[in-house]
Structure 1
Amino acid sequence: MEEPDANRRRICNSCDRPKPMCLCHVLPADLIPTRTEIVILHHPHESRHKLNTTPLLAKSLRHVTRISGRRLRHRHISAGETSPSSPTIYLFPSSPSSPAVTVSEFKSLNLLNHQGISNPPLRLIVFDATWKHAKEMVSASEEVLREAGAVRVCLDAGIDESVSGGSIYDSELVLRMEPFGGCVSTVEAVARCLGAIEPDGEEIERKLISVLKEMVRLQSEYLKPMKPRPKLLKKKFQNQQPVEEEEGE
């Protein structure tokens, strides 16, 4: 009988993260209740990424439903506790063909009271994937979103595809590079959105961001700095040199 590997990573039973990066000390003692039901459709590839932040939402918020898939289905709309008739929004940046209202505009338009009900439950759909996959997922889900009457919303800051993305927190820690300026992680996007639409939004946002910051801090201790590979470049240059000399003779 083989002995267990002593070097095998130990996983925390509470936060499901490796022991050295345990987040139990910053996760809420009790799941945070929200009026908003969050439905997260995450791409199968993203769900396996070690830096995926979606599990932090499920460990922090009470009303979170996670679904693995590449497109939204009708059954996913009622996957949570809200009714099929609940107002629905989905979080994704604006585009020329599919404009979005900012979360601040959404709140000021009083769309939450469209049925004359004070603060009815709201369904928030989030697509968790790389930028390329997320665009494909939204495009494949447009029919279901349209039939659900979902409103497209985006963060107030917006994104700029002409600018290269930075880290989750440019001024603090480099963890995972974003493709464009203004792009953020799933946790940060949900935190900013809830911060604008929830009655206790500022406090909810603060708690979620504090968990994310701690995850980034702990993870950064195990990152290896990116270094150029001059030997490969030099070898390539040397291989090209004889050819150039022969052509010049």
Structure 2
Amino acid sequence: MESQKEARTLQEPVERPPGASRSQTPKDKERQEGGAVPAAAALGAEGDDTSADGLWELPVEPAERRPECSRCSRPQKVCLCPFLPAHPLPISTHLIIIQHPAEENKVLRTVPLLAACLPQDKCKVKIGRRFSEERDPELSTVCRKSGTLILYPGAEAANLEEFILDSPVYPSTIIIIDGTWSQAKDIFYKNSLFRHPKQQEDFHLQARKRALTRTLTMQVQLKTSISSQYVIRMQPTNTCLSTLECAAVALSILEKNNYIQETLLRPLQALCSFQLQHGAQIRLSKEHLLKNGLYPKPMPKNKRKLRKMELLMNSVKI
């Protein structure tokens, strides 16, 4: 009987008070080392998840923007309307701005100032990177007209002042691309819409001494020695101009009125003056910085090769 009682006590589990812990067996240690998560840790993780989920339900306050002027699109504290003309400039040339989407929300963009100086029916802004006849038939029709020009420099571009002297059809529309130089290059070369073939016309100059048959080109460029007054943004070279400056020079040539250029540049000068007074610095061109060894970024590979060739030609040790 005593042996049976001893066997029964060995088989029955021993009751422990709540909260008491027993010694860990080797299997328990292996289970914990194998990745078993204690119950308290699991409850803590679930609590963190529920608290994080609650944060997503909190209302988000919209960021407050400074009140802007409806005409010049500048903050009211630095409104440039006093530097704009009292009435839109009376011009006969239609101006179309092809604006890269990245330029639309830039704070120091110049297109709103340009549009504020011109009549609404003479200045149109089209935002995008890709244009086609299906997407924009109106722009395609304008590009096919012989009186339409696009302002973009290049080997095939004609000087605007010389072009209007020889052209039998006086230009009525000019297209300008707004963006960085890389963005403008991408828009110009990846949109065949801007290089439509024009109608061929025969015309005679110098009392029919020479007959010229040519295809009217629409690509023109400005040959000017003036430096950009848009000094708060870096330009590739000293003669590169901003969109507003290009439009000012081109319209003054087409309209044969220098007052247009002076009027359009006035708000740009005021914009740069305000920015310089509030901490902005004059940005020199990349060309100037490279020539003087002040450009912080490394020179591209193609420029480095050209530099080495120049040094070799001049018999200078590299």
- If the length of structure 1 is used for normalisation, what is the TM-score? 0.70
Deviation per CA, 1:8-29: give whole Å up to 9, x if none: 5232233221122211101122
Task: State which of 14, 26, 29 in structure 1 corresponds to 2:86.
Answer: 29
Distance 2:86 2:186 in 1: 37
For the 8 Å contact 2:232–2:280, the answer to whether it is kept is no
Name the residue aligned to 1:241. Answer: none
Q: 1:25 to 1:80 in 2, by over 3 A?
A: farther
**Amino acid across the alignment from 1:154:** Q
Structure 1 residue runs without a partner (length 5+): 160-165, 227-249
For the 8 Å contact 2:98–2:176, the answer to whether it is kept is yes
**Amino acid across the alignment from 1:15:** C
Q: Secondary structure at the match of 1:90?
A: strand
Name the residue aligned to 1:194. Answer: 251
Task: State which of 188, 195, 201 in structure 2 corresponds to 1:138.
Answer: 188
Q: Secondary structure at the match of 1:78?
A: helix
Cα root mean square deviation, aligned: 3.0
For the 8 Å contact 2:143–2:193, the answer to whether it is kept is no
Richer in helix (by share): 2
Larger radius of gyration: 2
What are the equivalent positions in structure 2 for 1:114-129 lying under 5 Å apart?
A: 114=169, 122-129=172-179
Name the residue aligned to 1:237. Answer: none
Q: 1:18 to 1:85 in 2, by over 3 A?
A: same
Q: 1:156 to 1:220 in 2, by over 3 A?
A: same
Name the residue aligned to 1:58. Answer: 115
Q: Which has the higher contact order (CA 8 A, sep 6+)?
A: 1
Task: State which of 190, 193, 196 in structure 2 corresponds to 1:147.
Answer: 196
Q: 1:222 to 1:79 in 2, by over 3 A?
A: farther
Deviation per CA, 1:84-128: give whole Å up to 9, x if none: 635110001113xxx11111111221x2x43xxxx5x61111100
For the 8 Å contact 1:21–1:219, the answer to whether it is kept is no
What are the equivalent positions in structure 2 for 1:79-94 lying under 5 Å apart?
A: 85=145, 87-94=147-154
Q: 1:144 to 1:93 in 2, by over 3 A?
A: same
Distance 1:51 1:195 in 2: 24
For the 8 Å contact 1:71–1:138, the answer to whether it is kept is no
Name the residue aligned to 2:75. Answer: 18
Name the residue aligned to 2:129. Answer: 70
1:108 aligns with 2:165: yes
Q: Secondary structure at the match of 1:196?
A: helix
1:178 aligns with 2:235: yes
Name the residue aligned to 1:233. Answer: none
Percent identity between the two aligned chains: 31
The offset of 1:51, in angstroms, is 1.1
**Amino acid across the alignment from 1:100:** A
Distance 1:157 1:85 in 2: 27
Q: 1:81 to 1:203 in 2, by over 3 A?
A: farther
Structure 2 residue runs without a partner (length 5+): 1-60, 199-216, 283-318
Distance 1:29 1:77 in 2: 35
Aligned length, in residue pairs: 201
The offset of 1:219, in angstroms, is 2.2
Deviation per CA, 1:18-41: give whole Å up to 9, x if none: 122211101122211211111111
Q: Secondary structure at the match of 2:82?
A: coil
- If the length of structure 2 is used for normalisation, what is the TM-score? 0.56
